[in-house]
Structure 1
């Protein structure tokens, strides 16, 4: 990088300082002119959250995101630094990232005066200008703002001297973005310590008011006050944030599927085929859970439940493929039962019976399979297929190989005709599972499961 390395060269280069808000505003405008999203990788917020975020950033407001768990608050916060300039100059060695043309500490001004044009200049990347703190009950003012350093006092400095301070995360994020996650968890007395930093942009330590013109964009996340039982957000602090943005869960299954696809952590060295019905069933199950009367809607049904379910069902397909020495691994609808422990573990059921959660999970899965079956095959007449399975119940072995599955299906021509020719040979078992499980969900077939096999037969059996 051919950047100026001293103050004289920096001035000669024509460098003009910009505040954090000016940087962000210019970069937001650049994205808008290019018809690019302000934040990449978000789904379902195009008409709700993102327009509010654009306006807040353009006008330079500090922002607080309110919403239940798993709504992308932290993800949005962690990508905001991409709206900063890629590189900026700082006074070399400055703990506060001071601008060489606008130093804020008396000692730095004296240093620049002494060194003159030869004063060294360093350049920092925008990624280092973002600081994040998870609010915890043990957080102290020293962590966030700073504390008097007794060693520096012992060296002969006065308590009122800014050089006696060991600065905390907030002032060290000068000329950057500072984020606090789960703000209500921060003790109220510590929240009070942030009031001056947010409004007057100065800090107070041990009774000493240190006037530092900090240049920081503050961003925070919080659960709604009626949900969190661990603490509360004090009104004066909430009032300091210029914009409050309320997040929400995906409102349509397409957005849920897009999030799961982008966020799921799957083995990169293994090939897994996921037919479209699989993600559609998982997303539908999550959407149904968000309206279920026995599930706590105050704590919410996080998208992480859908992600964990998809990861678990992928693992089930991989285990079967390894046992049968098959490649690639293809997910089947019957694999979805493996997703229930992961899914149920991320919902809060309003019942004292620990078994109730799994019962609700099974019911949601059956309901989702029925809905997706209807979407795919609801207009087809299944009479001949049901009669065929009634005459000859179909038994599917646990971890049955794809070859054995194909051989078995040869004896059920009505089933193959009902499924149709659109699925590939790899995906065929998944669609057959969908038809069979869908007919069970709509009570036209029965399903009996033992340790090593599942039998589909007459609903009257």
Structure 2
């Protein structure tokens, strides 16, 4: 048998025989697919490509049967968005996510591609994910034998580059497996996107370099649709595309193919389209043309996190710590919850424009800014731990993105509004943290502690304080000054009952930190947990004693939390005047 006959038999047998392989993890690929490295290997296993919709459906079924969650890291959507996505994928629908900014719409599209698309074999070095076995078998035989192929239909199967690679290398043509993550194409819809960007265009450089004719397919440069071939094309903010460009997508959704320019060829990208839209554009402005909206068969509404817990977990997962040394940074759970409460309160406030939304990104960016504030004000200069506390919160205005609705949306009004929200949340957080913590004798003892004494808080207690001794007996704060610094631990020596309570509160914090880590791991969150782990040095028995400066920041954070709580007991234990806490008169 001649070489040509051998190749013919190999290809015919491969095309006509069902594959025998199975993969418990991914549908339609062999378990050891990474060992299939050449076209010969691919033909010998009788590989058959399955459509994108089929892959998504079958892989989702595998995950459901195995009780696996393909949407790990998506928090707060378990009972709403996720079931809708599963229904849509099982039905083979293209999807439109409708929701405000910062609701994880594009993240959902990424996960669908990454977790639910099977790896596919492409000819290494091709831009349009060319699968050689998608060629008609007679074409593949001719290419392997080094011949030109005679095309009788105007359908695009593989690129000219792919044909040349197979013609030159035959059965030794290199195969590369690309996973779903690599076949995900994100496109932010902007007014400057053209029809050619979507469907491709004539490449003048190719024409000049190769000396080819103007409308030869060899001059074609693929657009977004073909670049995401056999994968997912995510069109973010679809309504921004004008109607003429939206029409381009209709034939892909309706018939699974498109044409471009004067090329006598039609393309079948087998691409799943997932689009996103803002509710204002989607429901009020009508910027998605009706035929396109109709062909995006599942319209799924997303939403912001409904609970403090959900948004706090998202905050932990998404915060960017810029490779900070986790040993030098500690984020108390009450600070994380404070940031979350602030933005949940803003988001749901009647004076805030709900049409614009308040993104979870504001929550994340505000925590990052808060950490930067601590570094700038205290940590870098004094070489101390980075631990945010209540007195640092005023810095978050720069990352608080919201628009006032009921009153004039000026910078001054937004600052005043945010300050009021911060004060409310400090009260809520402190009451929540110490709920059930105190008994009446504790409060009586603390009130007695504050008789004729006061406690002063400051954002940077390490700086030299400007104070002036009065002719009368100096108060407790003046006595507590250490080398001109208003250290919290030094002041605390004047308050033995308060000291005991803070020690207990630190232990309570340790328990809450551990509970939060356990909760995060239960949701599959692994990122950034080291920044909320209770530091080993915080467990020392001499915490808060003399010469124990490294815990000053932890004590300062806990003291500020506790003093705020004591303002809001019923009746209040303390009054606050500027930055000084004083005891009140009355019975507990």
Tell me which interval the TM-score lies in, with the shorter structure as reference length.
0.7 to 0.9
Q: Distance in 1 between matches of 2:264 and 2:279?
A: 33
Moved more, 387-396 or 215-224: 387-396
Cα deviation code 1:186-238 (max 9, x no counterpart): 12221111111222122132366743222111111111135899982222211
**Corresponding residue for 2:70?**
38
**Corresponding residue for 1:404?**
487
TM normalised by structure 2 equals 0.69
Asked whether the equivalents of residues 282 and 288 of structure 2 are also in contact (C-alpha less than 8 Å), the reply is no
Picking from 300, 304, 307, the partner of 2:364 is: 307
Q: Distance in 1 between matches of 2:117 and 2:366?
A: 39
Shift of 1:406: 1.4
Asked whether the equivalents of residues 237 and 275 of structure 2 are also in contact (C-alpha less than 8 Å), the reply is yes
**Corresponding residue for 1:105?**
156
Bigger share in strand: 1
TM normalised by structure 1 equals 0.87
Asked whether the equivalents of residues 20 and 216 of structure 1 are also in contact (C-alpha less than 8 Å), the reply is yes
Asked whether the equivalents of residues 185 and 230 of structure 1 are also in contact (C-alpha less than 8 Å), the reply is no
**Corresponding residue for 1:3?**
36
Asked whether the equivalents of residues 20 and 84 of structure 1 are also in contact (C-alpha less than 8 Å), the reply is no
Q: Are residues 183 and 433 of structure 1, via their aligned partners in 2, closer, same or farther at CA, if it must alter by over 3 Å? A: same
Asked whether the equivalents of residues 187 and 231 of structure 1 are also in contact (C-alpha less than 8 Å), the reply is no
**Corresponding residue for 2:417?**
360
**Corresponding residue for 1:456?**
581
Shift of 1:355: 0.6
Q: Secondary structure at the match of 2:132?
A: coil
Cα deviation code 1:413-440 (max 9, x no counterpart): 3433554614054433222211222344
**How do 1:45-444 residues align onto structure 2 when only pairs under 5 Å count?**
45-85=77-117, 87-91=119-123, 94-103=126-135, 104-105=155-156, 111=163, 118=171, 120-126=173-179, 127-149=181-203, 155=211, 157=213, 159=215, 162-206=217-261, 210-226=265-281, 232-270=287-325, 271-319=328-376, 320-326=378-384, 328-343=385-400, 346-350=401-405, 351-379=408-436, 380=438, 381=440, 382=443, 385-386=446-447, 388-389=449-450, 391-401=452-462, 404-419=487-502, 421-424=504-507, 425=543, 426=551, 427-440=554-567, 444=572
Q: Distance in 2 between matches of 1:273 and 1:69?
A: 29
Moved more, 378-387 or 185-194: 378-387
Q: Distance in 2 between matches of 1:307 and 1:348?
A: 18
Q: Distance in 1 between matches of 2:283 and 2:449?
A: 55
Q: Secondary structure at the match of 1:288?
A: helix
The answer to whether 1:447 aligns with 2:564 is: no
Shift of 1:393: 2.1
Q: Are residues 85 and 410 of structure 1, via their aligned partners in 2, closer, same or farther at CA, if it must alter by over 3 Å? A: same
Q: Distance in 1 between matches of 2:303 and 2:283?
A: 16
Q: Distance in 1 between matches of 2:264 and 2:242?
A: 22
Q: Distance in 2 between matches of 1:111 and 1:308?
A: 49
Moved more, 35-44 or 133-142: 35-44
Q: Distance in 2 between matches of 1:68 and 1:316?
A: 29
Q: Distance in 1 between matches of 2:447 and 2:249?
A: 67
Q: Structure 1: any 5+ residue segments left out of the alignment? A: none
Q: How many aligned positions are there?
A: 451
Q: Distance in 1 between matches of 2:319 and 2:451?
A: 39
Q: Secondary structure at the match of 2:50?
A: coil
Shift of 1:66: 0.8
Q: Distance in 2 between matches of 1:106 and 1:275?
A: 57
Q: Distance in 2 between matches of 1:256 and 1:231?
A: 31
Shift of 1:322: 2.5
Q: Distance in 2 between matches of 1:107 and 1:174?
A: 11
Shift of 1:308: 1.4
Moved more, 44-53 or 143-152: 143-152
Asked whether the equivalents of residues 64 and 241 of structure 1 are also in contact (C-alpha less than 8 Å), the reply is yes
Q: Secondary structure at the match of 1:330?
A: coil
Moved more, 236-245 or 141-150: 141-150
**Corresponding residue for 1:29?**
61
Asked whether the equivalents of residues 89 and 124 of structure 1 are also in contact (C-alpha less than 8 Å), the reply is yes
Shift of 1:140: 0.3
Larger radius of gyration: 2
Asked whether the equivalents of residues 135 and 185 of structure 1 are also in contact (C-alpha less than 8 Å), the reply is yes
Asked whether the equivalents of residues 232 and 273 of structure 2 are also in contact (C-alpha less than 8 Å), the reply is yes
Asked whether the equivalents of residues 238 and 276 of structure 2 are also in contact (C-alpha less than 8 Å), the reply is yes
Moved more, 129-138 or 399-408: 399-408
Q: Are residues 86 and 197 of structure 1, via their aligned partners in 2, closer, same or farther at CA, if it must alter by over 3 Å? A: closer
